[in-house]
Amino acid sequence: MTHSCNELRELMMAEGLRGRPLSREVESRVGACESCARWVASFERQVAALVELPRRQVPASLEGRVVAALHQGYREDRAISELSQVGGPGAPAELDASLEDLFSELRAEGLLAAPEVPSELETRVDEDLRDLPGAISAHMLGKLESLSAPDSLAARIEADLAASQGTQAPRTLSLTVKRRLAAGLAAAAGLAIWAGLGQNTELVSPPALTPLVVISVDAGSDLSPAARRLFNSLTGGALSAHERVRVQREEAIANSGLAARRGARGATVGGGSSAALGGGASGANQASALSGSQQNPGTRTVGGSHSGNQALTSGGAPPLFDQIASAPLVVATRGVRRIQMFFPRNSHSGYSSDLEYLEEIATDGLGKYAILPGAVVTPNLSSTSLAEFQLLQSGREGFFFHSRDFSIRDAALFGQNYKVTDTGLQMTVCGVNVTVFDVSRLDGGGHVYRLGIDSSTGIILFQEVTGHDGVPISRLTYESFAYNADLSDVELRDGASVWVPFDINNSAALGFRMMHPTAPPTGYSFQGAGLLTGFANGSETWAQLTYGDGVDEVFFAFSTTEPSQMLSISGKGDTLRSMNLGPWTMIEGKIRGTKTIAVGKVDEAELLLMLQSALETR
């Protein structure tokens, strides 16, 4: 029997953790494979290092925190699950007979008679139910004050149309356009009502539907495991780092309080090394520790060949941008990158969530790649937290490679939504000359991407994302870089996504009902859909729909498991949790019993409209 290297390593890890000796076949294979032999030596060193770590006393507050975490926000779900499995005793046959006799007496005395509903009311209710969203919009618009347009407006419109169209007669708005304007006004009215109600907001919903309640949270522990996994993948692990800092601070407070009660000085908890496992270098020296390159590669900016910025819009981007999408897959590279993410100080927790770390990336030019986590510079993690963070980062490399960094994911949408500005600047990054461009949305939304691109390959060696106010959001800089480098010591992975594509128009054949948002954020269009079993746990299957504007993506995911018929016992409706982390917004929770997640670099209002439009297709 033979095994691939990955299968062999999984087998060795499983047998090693159970304390069993390796079989002769496995030992023979390890001896014959140099890569596997190096992996075994590395694994044994890691196990030895972990075994030698000093054991720590479990904090006294742990038990209470575990109970709170397990019960927080899910008591009702568990109660429903338990109650649905309890079989109640059947009612005796005498009860039915007694009730029938009682109702017969009440009918005979006329006590159960009710006034007849007018036929006009039944007709109007039936019409509203057939077009419930339109009825609600009409009801809300009917409450708005009607303003008359000034007489001069019609004359000005006719004059403008005549000036722009020559001798053609002025055109009136078509019925379709008028309907779209009415729908836009209705949506704006709904948003205005929602925005004025505060953080805990009960959205306007049809009487027959369960209302949606949106609660803002600022801790990853308030999100479901599936939401945390997706959020971490998009934010480059920022949520994990945020949570590790919070846990360390709570442990430090708990330990210092315990030491004070004992009358002793409390030792500082956490302060650990910012070096990668097995290395002690920090800061700029981490580039040397990870790649063996010079310690301070340097990045230099010089003036451009022309003065002023040159904006290229509506598909007028230089040919260089045609290479960007495919360059990481067809160009062999290796280098160490410094990833920096800047987040504003959290008003609730009182501390910043800034994240800075190193990672090594390798691509073979044939579609395979590897992203290896390195040192964490900020926040300052303990050795245990660092090991956990790096382990989680290793499992996210696919999402980092495909979705985290700038890329042109749809050329047509990129031409419709973005403009490219040649800044006239040249940079030298790790000895490579790059040209600097600014990329931003035509409608003024989103963010500004400053890119340093090698014009000979399309590889981006510098990337900075800022708001339109110039405040930095994230930065990616290479500290060492080489083309066609030796990759013999790197285990590469295939570029295919773990999500299995499916046709959204044929979901019934897959055994679940589709939720398909019909109102994605402005400028975004449907890009594709995929299924993944075990996204949140070992058995649950989720569907994920991706929407893009050419660069950025919004992800809408939901569990394909059919919801329980018993949706709520509190009468308060479905509760959604909303969290912001830098430019990203996530909304997640149960809608009509279905676990749902929406996340992207858009504001909360657009995600809510997207979720509401998905309900109409369920």
Q: What is the chain's mean pLDDT, rounded?
A: 73
Last residue of a domain, one of 417, 449, 483: 483
Q: Please state the pTM of the whole predicted model.
A: 0.57
- Answer yes or no: is 553 within a domain: yes
Would the pLDDT of 282 be above 60? no
- Is 416 buried (19+), middle (13-18) or exposed (0-12) by CB count in 10 A? middle
Q: What percent of the chain has pLDDT above 90? A: 22
- Calculate the CA 195 to chain-centre distance: 23
Find all residues with CB under 8 Å of 531, minimum gap 6, and list them.
499, 500, 502, 510, 541, 542, 543, 544, 560
Q: Do residues 529 and 435 both lie within one domain?
A: no
Per-residue pLDDT at 563: 61
d(C-alpha 558, C-alpha 595), whole Å: 6
Domains held by the chain: number: 2
Q: Do residues 403 and 522 both lie within one domain?
A: no
Q: Do residues 415 and 544 both lie within one domain?
A: no
Q: Do residues 478 and 502 both lie within one domain?
A: no
- Answer yes or no: is 150 within a domain: no
Nearest to 521 by CA among 589, 612, 430: 612
- Answer yes or no: is 320 within a domain: yes
Per-residue pLDDT at 101: 75
Q: What is the mean pLDDT of residues 73-100?
A: 70
Last residue of a domain, one of 430, 455, 483: 483
Nearest to 557 by CA among 567, 566, 546: 546
Last residue of a domain, one of 448, 483, 518: 483
Q: Do residues 477 and 501 both lie within one domain?
A: no
Give whichever of 64-73, 420-429, 607-616 has the largest mean pLDDT: 420-429
Q: Which residue has the higher pLDDT, 149 or 281?
A: 149
**Token duo for residue 453:** 């691109």
Nearest to 74 by CA among 223, 215, 239, 219: 223
* φ/ψ (deg, to 5) at 75: -60, -45
Return the DSSP state at 265. P
Q: Do residues 282 and 380 both lie within one domain?
A: yes
Among 139-148, 265-274, 323-332, 575-584, where is mean pLDDT lowest?
A: 265-274
Q: What percent of the chain has pLDDT above 70? A: 63
CATH of the domain at 429: 2.50.20
Give whichever of 34-38, 241-245, 263-267, 596-600 has the largest mean pLDDT: 596-600
The tens digit of pLDDT for each residue in 495-516 reads 667 788 888 888 777 778 888 8
- Answer yes or no: is 55 within a domain: no
The tens digit of pLDDT for each residue in 581-597 reads 778 888 988 887 888 99
Q: Do residues 384 and 522 both lie within one domain?
A: no
Q: How confident is the model at residue 240 (pLDDT cuts 50, 70, 90)?
A: low
DSSP assignment of 583-607, as one string? TEEEEEEEETTEEEEEEESS-HHHH
Q: Do residues 423 and 520 both lie within one domain?
A: no
Give whichever of 131-145, 263-277, 284-298, 543-557 has the largest mean pLDDT: 543-557
Q: Do residues 408 and 524 both lie within one domain?
A: no
Q: Which domain holds residue 583?
A: 212-224+497-615
SS3 30: helix
- Answer yes or no: is 24 within a domain: no
Would the pLDDT of 325 be above 80? yes
Q: Do residues 460 and 315 both lie within one domain?
A: yes
Find all residues with CB under 8 Å of 448, minimum gap 6, and list them.
438, 439, 440, 465, 466, 467, 468
Would the pLDDT of 174 be above 60? no
Q: Do residues 465 and 593 both lie within one domain?
A: no
CATH of the domain at 507: 3.30.200.100
Q: Do residues 383 and 446 both lie within one domain?
A: yes
Give whichever of 24-33, 61-70, 231-240, 355-364 has the largest mean pLDDT: 355-364
d(C-alpha 373, C-alpha 274), whole Å: 12
- Answer yes or no: is 124 within a domain: no
Find all residues with CB under 8 Å of 370, minimum gap 6, and list them.
360, 361, 362, 397, 490, 491, 492, 493
- Answer yes or no: is 32 within a domain: no
Q: Which H helix or E strand runs over 432?
A: strand 432-441
SS3 54: coil
Q: How confident is the model at residue 257 (pLDDT cuts 50, 70, 90)?
A: low
Q: Which long-range contacts (CB under 8 A, 24 or more apart) does 450-457 make?
A: 450/423, 451/406, 452/427, 453/320, 453/324, 455/320, 457/323, 457/327, 457/331, 457/483
d(C-alpha 420, C-alpha 309), whole Å: 10
- Answer yes or no: is 47 within a domain: no
